[in-house]
Amino acid sequence: MGQVTTLTSSDGHSFEVYEAAPDGNPMGTIVVVQEIFGVNAHIREVADGYARSGYRAMAPALFDRVEPKIELGYAGADMMQGIEIARGKLDVSDALLDIQTTVQSASESGAVGLVGYCFGGLMAFLSACQVSGLACAVSYYGGGIAAQLEQSPNIPLQFHFAELDAHIPMSDVDLIRNAYPDCGLFTYDADHGFNCDHRASFDECAADLARQRALDFFAEHMG
Active-site annotation holds for 198: no
Active-site annotation holds for 165: yes
Q: Which one from 42, 64, 98, 118 is the annotated catalytic residue?
A: 118
Give the span between the Cα atoms of 109 and 127, in whole angstroms. Answer: 19
Taking the CB of residue 103, how many other CB atoms lie within 10 A of it?
22
Q: Which one from 98, 165, 191, 203 is the annotated catalytic residue?
A: 165
Q: Please, are residues 83 and 73 in contact by the beta-carbon 8 Å criterion?
A: no
Q: Please, are residues 62 and 95 in contact by the beta-carbon 8 Å criterion?
A: yes
Give, in order, the Cα–Cα distances in Å from 107 to each of 9, 37, 56, 72, 92. 15, 26, 11, 30, 22
**Contacts by 79-82 with C-beta closer than 8 Å and gap 24+?**
79/36, 79/37, 82/35, 82/36, 82/37, 82/38, 82/119
Active-site annotation holds for 118: yes
Taking the CB of residue 82, how many other CB atoms lie within 10 A of it?
22
Q: Which one from 64, 192, 196, 203 is the annotated catalytic residue?
A: 192
- Residues belonging to the active site: 118, 165, 192
